[in-house]
Amino acid sequence: MKKMIVLSFLMILTMVLLSFQVMAQTADQKKVESYISGLKVKLAAAQKTRDAKRIKLLQSLISEAKASLEKIKARTVEPSKPAEELAVDSQNELVDIKEETNAALASLKNELEAVKADNKDVKVSGVIFFHWQKYTQNAGSSNYNQFDVSRAYLDFKKKLVDDASARVTLDVRRLDTSSTGTDPNKKTQNLFDYLKYAYVEKPVTVPAALQPVPFTLTAKIGLQHTAWIDWADKLLNARFIAKTLLDNEGVMSSSDFGLGVLGKVSVSGFPEVEYHATLLNGAGYSKPESDARKDLGLRLNSNVYSNDTLGSVIVGLFGNAAGIKTDASMDSHTKKQAVALLGLKNSIYSVGLEYLYGTNISGYSLGGTFIINPGWTILARLDNYDPSRSAVNNEISRSIYGLIYDWSKDVRLAADFQSAKTGTGATTGIFYLHSMITI
């Protein structure tokens, strides 16, 4: 009697377990079918965009999922087996399912890592310059009290084959989109995006036999940095407050279309020298080429002396021939510019003197920053620019004084006062609240 009760209990338990197993198999089957349907939708999308790598990956995942589905469908329970054998079979099936699941997860992880590896060298970033300004002196009709965005970079960088890389950068500016005359109240001046940089660069290996002194070389082609402005900006690191002298006065553009080479020259016993040479249209990034002339520029810079207390003594030299002829000759239409910079920089302060002398122009910029407390920096800068040495009473004098707060590595804030005066005219003063947000 006891034996019959035990056998009956085992049979009931076996039936319950079998029902759970069937339910589990049905649920597994539905999950896999749903997974396959989702993969097919993604495959169709990939085929439309002709993404070969993604198509291959999705086809592989679909094949593996279909194989798993067939195994689930093939699982059957043999009711004729004794309860003991059924229990062993169920345990073995559970082990098989675990192994298959782990294998599938491992395979999926490898595929995801492969996709991630294919795209890990794509970097997307951005920078926003936002400010508020209020005129405090001699505003005239421009007595603005306004918030505005002066820059909104969206930057894409991608590594290519053979150590080459590409960069595309968008920025914004206000553009007139109407033809209703000169009345500013009748113009639409929305912020529009435009190309600031779009270039490819690649390191070039130069045979040792062709190197009189050891040097590196990277070639650039496209819409790229001009040789001086971006480098000079880094001394005071306050571009979100004001442009450097050459950029601010419109002596040259910060980017242009053309060719460039840059690298380092190393000679034993001497400081390393960086160089950057460019052959550019000359009109800048905002205008198309209008003639056959080109701009030829060269920058040389070096940290000529360094120690832990003083910091680094930085020397930079730049020469630019704007408007050379196609045979590389110059004439009366060619404008020449020469710039020299002497700087001193360490972890506490930065000081720099920049001097410009060119065809009928001259100017200088003296500025510095000093960290008064962790996160807090004071800024002072004086500029003087003569747009025409042959004329009188036209020199432009500017001053900038401000307090910078580094809120975080991604957010910088500043309160600053900027003044400007032309010749013996009245001084215009503007108070700003600047911010730079890196995204």
pLDDT in tens, 402-419: 999 999 999 999 999 999
Q: How confident is the model at residue 119 (pLDDT cuts 50, 70, 90)?
A: low
Residues 319 and 342 in one domain: yes
Helices (H), ranges, 120-239: 229-236
The CA distance from 204 to 122, in Å, is 22
The type of residue at 245 is: L
Evaluate if residue 278 carries a pLDDT over 90: yes
Residues 102 and 214 in one domain: no
Residues 241 and 304 in one domain: yes
Condensed to tens digits (0 to 9), the pLDDT of residues 14-27 reads 554 445 455 555 65
> How many other C-beta atoms lie within 10 A of the C-beta of residue 408?
9
Q: Give me the percent of the chain exceeding a pLDDT of 70.
A: 79
Maximum CA extent, the chain = 124
Residues 84 and 221 in one domain: no
Q: How confident is the model at residue 42 (pLDDT cuts 50, 70, 90)?
A: confident
Last residue of a domain, one of 87, 103, 119: 119
Q: Mean of the per-residue pLDDT values for the chain?
A: 84
Q: Give me the percent of the chain exceeding a pLDDT of 90.
A: 54
CB 344 within 8 A of CB 313: yes
| Average pLDDT of span 66-70 | 80
Evaluate if residue 160 carries a pLDDT over 60: yes
- The pTM assigned to this predicted structure is 0.71
Residues 113 and 128 in one domain: no
Last residue of a domain, one of 119, 145, 166: 119
Residues 331 and 271 in one domain: yes
Residues 13 and 156 in one domain: no
φ, ψ of residue 86 in degrees (nearest 5): -65, -40
Residues 143 and 289 in one domain: yes
Residues 135 and 18 in one domain: no
| Average pLDDT of span 182-192 | 64
Q: Which domain holds residue 30?
A: 2-119
Evaluate if residue 58 carries a pLDDT over 80: no
Last residue of a domain, one of 60, 91, 119: 119
Q: How confident is the model at residue 45 (pLDDT cuts 50, 70, 90)?
A: confident
Residues 45 and 89 in one domain: yes
Structural domains counted in the chain: 2
The larger pLDDT score, comparing residue 5 to residue 342, is at 342
Residue 185, SS3? helix
The CA distance from 230 to 362, in Å, is 20
Burial of 416 (0-12, 13-18, 19+ CB in 10 A): buried
Burial of 29 (0-12, 13-18, 19+ CB in 10 A): middle
Residues 224 and 341 in one domain: yes
CATH number where 376 lies: 2.40.160.10
Q: How confident is the model at residue 64 (pLDDT cuts 50, 70, 90)?
A: confident
Residues 88 and 214 in one domain: no
Cα-based torsion angle of the residue sequence 342, 249, 319, 389 in order, rounded to the nearest 10 degrees: -100
Least confident of 107-116, 270-279, 380-389: 107-116
